[in-house]
């Protein structure tokens, strides 16, 4: 699967807004791996998470100090809009 090709470096969920019965949740997901596989992952996320919107994609290359190999990192910011239902 895709998990064999790239590595998840981090996942940070945050509620960015809660007001007037609406909550916006933003997640930051950081992946590393080959460009083609990361691009396939972005495509899959956009197609399979219809309730979410990709807000930004930041591509960055980093040279690993120990191995001196270049590594591609992709940081995604994904938002989900949720209606808040108050239970009584």
Res 6: pLDDT: 53
Q: What is the mean pLDDT of residues 3-14?
A: 64
Check: pTM over 0.85? Answer yes or no: no
If we measure between CA atoms, which residue out of 32, 37, 82, 27 comes closest to residue 59?
A: 32
What's the pLDDT band for 65 if we cut at 50, 70, 90?
confident
| Separation of alpha carbons 49 and 80, rounded Å | 9
**Alpha-carbon distance values, 46 to 14, 24, 52, 64, 68 (Å):** 19, 18, 8, 30, 33
What's the pLDDT band for 56 if we cut at 50, 70, 90?
very high
Res 1: pLDDT: 39
Percentage of the chain lying above the pLDDT 90 cut: 26
* Confidence check: pLDDT of 4 > 90: no
């Amino acid at each position: 699967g895709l998990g064999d090709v790239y590595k998840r470096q981090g996942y940070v969920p945050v509620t960015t807004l809660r007001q007037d019965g609406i909550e916006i949740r933003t997640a930051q997901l950081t992946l590393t791996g080959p460009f083609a596989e990361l691009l396939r992952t972005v495509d899959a996320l956009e197609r399979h998470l219809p309730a979410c919107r990709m807000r930004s994609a930041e591509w960055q290359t980093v040279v690993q100090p120990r191995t001196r190999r270049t590594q591609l990192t992709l940081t995604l910011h994904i938002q989900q809009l949720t209606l808040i239902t108050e239970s009584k």
